[in-house]
Structure 1
Amino acid sequence: MNEPVRRISVVVLTMFLALMIAASYIQVIAAGDLNADARNVRTLYREYGTFRGPIVVDGQSIVWSAPVDDPFNYQRTYADGPLYSAVTGYYSIVYGRTGIEQSENELLSGTADELFWTRLGNLVSGETQRGASVELTLSGAVQQAAFDALGDQIGAVVALDPSTGKVLAMVTSPTFDPADLAGHTTSVVNENYQTLLGTPDGPLVNRAIAGDTYPPGSTFKLVTAAAALGAGYDAESELYAPDELALPGTSVTMGNYGGASCSSTESMTLADALRISCNTAFGSLGMKLGWSVIERQAEAFGWGEQLSIPLAVTPSRLPDDPDQAQTAMSSIGQYDVRATPLQMAMVAAGIANDGELMRPYLVETVRDADLRVVETTEPEVMSTPMTVADANELTAMMVGVVDAGSGTNAQISGVEVAGKTGTAETGNDLDPHAWFVGFAPADDPVVAVAVVLENGGGNTGTITGGRLAAPIARQVIEAALAAQGGS
């Protein structure tokens, strides 16, 4: 073979090898990533061409795929879309997936490993591939009550079953209709999405578990109180409660809400300090306990955890090595303490469940197209932040908050409600966040709830958790009690 021919042969062979390597890489190594890429429209065509499983609440489909006469074959349909959007998310040919539509996508689309034998049976029988149904833990009645009570106020509500960790309700406001993004006309979907992006207060943000976390304000006093009980204090332990608390190393003092005086003697019990939400008492308590004690208590309730329920939850945050003054502020849920509404619902649930915190979850059961159970979620203990005795003592203190303290607007006739209010300063010129967390019945809880109204939720007048958030929590608790009684 002469030299020119040999050189051409080497070049051609090299090109063939390059093509083989590239093809192998694309078809084998990169195939998964390419299929999962939201820009891969062919993947969406393939998914829309098969029956996508429904999302179910209380035995009824709230999301399903309806047959249509277009190239996509099926149209994703949302019943009461705005009511459930914080959980379901959307499924869009343009913008991909969010919420349960994303986290359970392989099961809903029928491509999950758990459905291998189902797919094999379909292949043998010639039947069309069908996705699994995903049954949620939500209670339709509790979800509706939370949605109605929150209304157009900016904020979020989360309700949990303390004994299992089931999410009974998750609502965020403002909300949106996933159907607006599920259409098959891309120009309309694009227009709808841009409208949502341009809407003030971010309707696409799930304030219950994601987006910006919030200073929890005085609801964090539950964590400080739990830390105190664990350190040997009890409800009758006396705390230093001046009208103004000097913050070491600064020229600043801590005051109480509205400049009020907690005690004429500058001393009060832990129970009374929680009942009227005395800032100076808890600030002095926090400095006496030390930040490491409070930090360990908060972490036991879930601060810093990378939770998946299976929706991804933004971790709640604590300050890093605060000094004495910062510890005092952190002890009342200010400075750099941040939490999601889910996190605060977990605090209430952990206290309610005799000091045992159950891991929260949203998916109850997954069934294949023949209704055979593919997956089921078993309740799981996440941590034990308190002893039974301490949890019971803190529960009694929280009952005092609702019976004769800052949380009287959460009272329910004939039912003992345990709760804590919060009014969290934001460090800017905006109104404070209004909080309420609680559970009921206090002696045998069936629901724990957290409510936050961002910057007062758009309300006017006096912004406090007791005035604005507690009535919302009451309505959610009432719905959960009614649902429990009817089950």
Structure 2
Amino acid sequence: MNAPLRRAGVVVLVLFGLIFANLNWVQVYRADDYRTHEFNRRVMVAEYETPRGVIEAGGKALAQNKETGDELKYLRVYPEGKMYAPVLGYKPVGLGATGIEASENDFLSGASDKLFADRLSNMFTGDNAGGGNVVLSVNPKAQEAAWKQMNNNQRNVSRGAAVAIDPSTGAIQAMVSMPSFDPNPLVDHDMEAAQKAYKALDADEDDPLINRAVGATLPPGSVFKVIVAASALQNGYKTSTEIEAGSVYREGGATIRNSEDEVCPGSQVTLKEALTESCNTGFSRLGVALGADKVKESAKAFGFEDEALKVGDLDSGTGLTVAASRTGAIANPDGTTDTAALAQSSLGQRDVRMTPLQGAMIAATVANGGRQMRPYLVQKLLGPDRRTIYTAEPDELREPISSGVADDLRDMMVSVVENGTGKRAKIDGFTVGGKTGTAQNAEGANPHGWFIGFAFDDSGKAVSAICVMLENVPGGHASAEAARIAGLIMKAAAGRGGD
């Protein structure tokens, strides 16, 4: 045999060897992956043979099934449409789920270890009861009030978020993000139609697929003064301590002015008065006096820089991923403190960024005596037969401040609502505290309006803590509308209606 033929023979043998190895790899090592892959049509059909569990809140079904009579037996249906979509997410055909549909997918589909007994029973009985049911902590009345007020706000703002929390447990009472989206077209069994609907939403410049409550980080403006005030109180200041203020403060190239001439024009103001009036010059000077390390330390104690937080199921630790809130470096290139940045950061500007959920957690911490509870959305897991498998047990996440500092902050924040910039958050029959924030952002753009706060009933129980954020609010006093909406959401959460 000549050399060319030998080489050709060797090549053919090598190729046969590779084909043989590949067949073994596919049939032996990758068989399970291919058999269970979401794009395998038989897998899709099998998945839709079993009814997916219901997601509900307050006795109301938010995600359920509809029999189709088609090859895919059950269609996922979201009766409330856009209102709950950022929380629920959606479960499309042949693709991964999002939101609670994703984080609780194993339980909803029936594949969870928690449902092993049910699967075993079905093998003997032949029943096909379906997946488990997820009960959310959301209060439908509070959610409806938040949805209505946010989407019909008096400033015609189209983007924003609202989050309400039970301060003593961490249970999410309401979570709204706008603009939202209708999940129903995204789960259509016509995959081309579903993909077309998704592409339209994905291309929308207002980003309706983003849950702004947990995924948007924006400059919080003066609500960050609560963090600076907490730092001051932890470092020897009293609510009655006088701090330097004035109409103008220049620091390291930054010029700080108050929002209006009549705000703390004197050379000194008490810490309580400074928060009540939202005195920019006072808090900038205070932040510089405390130093960058103390301000950042206080922010971190409240949850800034936390990259691991998820909001969903306390038992499994799964849920909606929360973007980390940040203070920024507040430093020069050589590592020394940038005092201009510190002066601006103490007002929640410069590089400070915060999620609305973080804002609600700050308010909840103050209302709960300094203890910050881990926020959650999954209140219960029920089997297909509605028996209770899991009930959330509140979990303390951290203790950012002492009870004494919390009491002082509560008193100061109540003064903001009673006497200062947060008057529109007042609720008859409740003691309400809070802090407004107007945050400058892009050059020439309208500012963001923020409000964080809490409400106590007449028995002294903290019934709700809140954060409302409205993006690019026209017309001045950007935070006033956020405060008004916050009051109505907390009123609804307390069972007093949301009108």
- TM-score, structure 2 length as denominator? 0.89
1:256 is matched with which residue? 258
How has the CA–CA distance of structure 1 residues 286 and 177 changed in structure 2, closer, same or farther, with 3 Å as cutoff? Answer: same
Among 163, 166, 183, which residue is 1:161 paired with?
A: 166
Unaligned stretches of 5+ residues in structure 1: none
**Distance (whole Å) between structure 2 residues aligned to residue 119 and residue 83 of structure 1:** 33
Query: In 2, Cα distance between the equivalents of 1:75 and 1:446?
Result: 38
**1:377-392 alignment runs, 5 A limit:** 377-392=392-407
Structural mapping, 1:25-174, within 5 Å: 25-27=29-31, 30=33, 35=36, 39=39, 42-93=42-93, 96-128=96-128, 130-152=130-152, 153=157, 154-174=159-179
Equivalents in 1 of 2:212, 2:300: separation in Å? Answer: 21
The answer on 1:283 being equivalent to 2:288 is: no
Deviation by residue 1:402-436 (Cα, 9 ceiling, x = unmatched)? 00100111112232100100000104221110000
Q: Is the 8 A contact 2:264 2:274 kept in 1?
A: no
Q: State how many pairs are aligned.
A: 468
Partner amino acid for 1:480?
A
Contact 2:264 2:279 in 1 (8 A): no
Q: Which residue of 2 aligns with 1:454?
A: 471
Query: Which residue is 2:224 aligned to?
Result: 220
- How far does residue 266 in structure 1 lie from its aligned partner after superposition? 1.0
2:316 corresponds to: none
> How many Å separate the matches in 2 of 1:13 and 1:461?
74
| Deviations, residues 175-224 of structure 1 (Å, cap 9, x unaligned) | 111112121122332332233234341221111111x3111100010111
Contact 2:263 2:279 in 1 (8 A): yes
Contact 1:432–1:463 (CA<8 Å) still a contact in 2?
A: no
Cα deviation 1:106-133 (Å, max 9, x = unaligned): 1111111222221121112222251100
Does the C-alpha gap of structure 1 residues 94 and 26 become closer, same or farther in structure 2, counting only changes over 3 Å?
closer
SS at match of 1:63: strand
**Mapped contact 1:156–1:453 kept (Cα < 8 A):** yes
Pick one of 205, 208, 215 that aligns with 2:213: 208
Matches within 5 A, 1:286-325: 286-305=287-306, 306-309=308-311, 310-322=319-331, 323-325=338-340
Task: Confirm whether residue 355 of structure 1 aligns to residue 357 of structure 2.
Answer: no
1:403 alignment counterpart? 418
What is the distance in 2 between the residues matched to 1:89 and 1:320? 34
SS of residue matched to 1:422 = strand
Alignment partner of 2:195 out of 187, 190, 209: 190
Return 5+ residue gaps in structure 2 as ranges.
Answer: 1-5, 312-318, 332-337
Match of 1:266 in 2: 267
Q: 1:244 to 1:72 in 2, by over 3 A?
A: same
Tell me the amino acid that sits aligned with residue 226 of structure 2: L
The answer on whether the counterparts of 2:249 and 2:255 sit within 8 Å (CA) in structure 1 is: yes
Q: For residues 95 and 281 of structure 1, what CA distance do their matches in structure 2 show?
A: 53
Partner of 1:181: 186
Identity of aligned residues (%): 39
Q: Is contact 1:365–1:373 with CA below 8 Å preserved after alignment?
A: yes
Determine the C-alpha separation between the residues in 2 that align with 1:9 and 1:150: 70
The answer (yes or no) to whether the contact 1:110–1:129 under 8 Å persists in 2 is no
The structure 1 segments of at least 4 consecutive aligned residues displaced by more than 6 Å after TM superposition are: 6-14
Q: Are the aligned partners of 1:94 and 1:190 in contact in 2 as well (CA < 8 Å)?
A: no
State the Cα RMSD in Å: 2.2
The worse-fitting range, judged by mean Cα deviation, of 317-326 and 387-396 is 317-326
1:475 counterpart = 2:477: no
